[in-house]
Homo-oligomer: A and B are copies of this chain.
Amino acid sequence: MAMFESPQAAEKAFYSAFEQGDIEAMMSVWAARAEIRCIHPLGSLLTGVSAVRASWIEIFRNQVPRSVEIERVSTVHGTDLAWHTVYETITLPLQRQRFPPLLATNAYCRNSGGWVMVLHHASPIGMVDTAPFEVREPAATRH
């Protein structure tokens, strides 16, 4: 586990590992703790080091050049916890494929030696414009 001098430095290392498909670099950004949480877009909740590691191995299985553009829209730093909200735009240059932007919440924790990642929650956005909880007609009125 690496230690970073700031949440920004940890985040930079996270996206660099993501771009490079480097599993060891990726996992060095994460806290080596049971409570780490990772939610890939539309995926399930992953808990703990081995589940998080397995998910990145799966993502990195396709060793294609990948670029991840980041726009950081929120930075809230506490004494020992921090979180960032970022837009992620992933491009696969060789495939000429650009994915729609995702929104990610990344949380970091300060241990004695520095900052490490403890949460990555990414999700698609802009797929609905209205209230997310549509109310259907009551079942009784269908008869």
Contacts and interface: CB of A to CB of B under 8 A. Distances in A.
A42 B127 contact: yes
Top 6 A-B pairs ranked by shortest CB distance? A78-B81, A123-B123, A81-B81, A42-B127, A78-B80, A79-B79
A78 B96 CA distance: 43
A62 interface: yes
Interface in A64-108: 64, 66, 73-74, 76-83, 85, 87, 90, 92, 94-97, 99, 103, 105, 107
Each complex incorporates copies of this chain amounting to: 2
Contact of A132 (B40, B74, B81, B119): B40
A53 interface: no
A47 B71 CA distance: 15
Nearest to A82: B81
Contacts of A55: 131
A131 B42 contact: no
A132 to B, nearest CB: 5
A128 to B, nearest CB: 5
